[in-house]
Structure 1
Amino acid sequence: MIRIILGEDQRLLRGALATLLSLEDDIEVVGEAENGEEALSLIQQFQPDIAVLDIEMPLKTGLDVAEAIQHSGGACRVIILTTFARPGYFQRAMQAGVYGYMLKDTDSDELSDAIRRVHDGKRVINAELSLAVWENPCPLSPRERDVMKLASQGLTLQEIGAQLFLSYGTVRNYMSEAISKLGANTRIEAIEIARKKGWLD
């Protein structure tokens, strides 16, 4: 029997998923969570084989939970469900050791099959999502992303420099380069482009 935890903040969708998956002879839903912190708590409590998690939940996202499992060395494997084909999300999911990455409109038979394959140690990645990453690799360097992320939080270039131990001129150059790479005209436009792609998460 494959024991799973469901993490989804939309009650109707969570209930529907739990009902459909429970109809499978070899799958048992042992817990349901409405936010990421609850999901992580249930995972620690029940030690399920697999956690099926919405990528955008309150308190902790599905990716936050996956990273917490990875850092703790937990055996629970994660399948992320998302409505967004954002390259940055996908890259972060792979770094967090996520086994499955699928769209929320996946039918229940396909999800059940994915759960079985992940349980067998295989990775299941939605083709549309992987294509989005292939076609839209992040052009920003790690340092440019750091600068953009802090700028998106409202910090000035001086404040960013202080936080990253960089001079004002260096921060300005990183910001200018990022704006250019993203084809933006302003800092705000560049931040919006990067945020929509999921490159600041």
Structure 2
Amino acid sequence: MQNLKKTNHWLYQRHSDNDIDRARLIKKPLAALIIMLGGMSISGCEPADDVENNSSIIASEQRAQNLKVSADIEDKIINSYARVASKHAHICPKLIQKQLDNSVIERTAEVMIKDSCDYFLYPKIGEQIAVSLDNDQIEALLITPRTYNFANGGYEVTSYDKHVIRLAYNGAGYKPENFRYDVAITIE
């Protein structure tokens, strides 16, 4: 603003009265132009900031979507591995499915090599899941979608999600290297 006053002062001193009238006419548009340019430089920063904010929002949404996709892929790989493992007694985790005409899934002569074995299943909402074992040294727990101990009885399914039943060795002594057991999972 100080430069504008100096410019106006210089215009008044140097020119005649006609020039002074012209300078007054120039003064208003010049001030308006300076105000416009100042406003543009200030508002000119805002869209760039908006673009940066939008790009960071888009980048974070894309990262979240990529994480979800990678988690879905990982889950599908684990399920496909579990489907293959269900055909073998000594490989865990296992994907198990109820037969149409039978509500009991029986697995005999299963072998627990590590300290636990997981069984994946996808029951319908409202169905009851119960687990019975031939050995008291094994603990049957539902670990996904929520924690539940099957020693308390059956569990009622409240959501259509992957349910993971973990059979874990819970004996007083050391677990044998190839611990054999029979399990029956009832879904009604």
TM-score (norm 1): 0.25
* Greater strand content: 2
Which structure has the larger Rg? 2
TM-score (norm 2): 0.27
Structure number with greater CO (CA < 8 Å, separation at least 6) is 2
